[in-house]
Amino acid sequence: MSDVLMMTIDGTRPLSIGAVSELTVLCDRAEGRDTGGVVTLCVTGAPGPGWADGLNIALVTKWERALRRLERLPAATIALAVGDCGGAALDTFLAADIRIATPGTRLLMPFDGEATWPGMAAFRLVRLAGVARVRRSVLFGQPISGAEALASGIADELTDSPEAAAATTAQLVEEVSGKELAIRRQLLFDAETTSFEDALGSHLAACDRALRRGAAEAA
């Protein structure tokens, strides 16, 4: 498939303004395309001791905002995890629509010196798997194996050939409109915290949009 944007995230690298810029450029390119297409994110590596040295809240905020932008792209996002994944690699993996891992993958909450890092990876882990399944990882840094990630819904697929799996997945989603995908994704996000009555208006608006689009294409 030609309409695929790719980026590799190395979790061993300290978080930097350069990493934020790289992710921002990727989002710019994805948002600037006429068709939704696919964004593939290859993630691997976990930070070592002292990785938080030099961090400041301004940089962390920029990174979290870039991740949120990635999470809302008008494109399907596929993350491929290989080996240990922590830090920026874990953040990016959890923000993707479809998450593929190898059997040897371990998802690691990094330590900041005294405890696990309290970033939004913890939030996304809980949203994906529930408090009970990730409590020991979020509180104590216990690794989540590839098999555990699959069983808990954190990973969608476990395979020895992540690139082949990503290519197959890309073919499945290539006909999906990027703008429409973004709307469906937001409806999913809202369903976790919104009552039926409050969600009804958004779903009806999306239905109306789909009907109007169909009528316009048939005219």
Q: pLDDT (tens digit, 0 to 9) for every residue of the chain, 219 residues total?
A: 456 799 999 999 989 999 999 999 999 999 988 777 899 999 999 999 888 888 999 999 999 999 999 999 999 999 999 999 999 999 999 999 999 999 999 999 998 878 999 999 999 999 999 999 999 999 999 999 999 999 999 999 999 998 898 888 888 887 787 888 888 999 998 998 899 999 999 999 999 988 888 788 776
- Asked if 27 and 66 count as a contact pair (C-beta separation under 8 A), the reply is yes
Residue whose C-alpha is closest to residue 100's, from 42, 26, 142: 42
0.75 exceeded by pTM: yes
Residue whose C-alpha is closest to residue 162's, from 102, 95, 85, 98: 102
DSSP one-letter string for 122-169: HHHHHHHH-HHHHHHHHHH---EEHHHHHHHTS-SEE-S-HHHHHHHH
Please classify residue 167 by burial: count the beta carbons closer than 10 Å to its beta carbon, then call 0-12 exposed, 13-18 middle and 19+ buried. middle
Reported as a single tens digit per residue, the pLDDT across 31-83 is: 988 777 899 999 999 999 888 888 999 999 999 999 999 999 999 999 999 99
Phi/psi at 13 (5° precision): -80, 135
- Taking residue 28's Cβ as centre, other Cβ atoms within 10 Å add up to 10
What number does CATH give the domain 4-173?
3.90.226.10
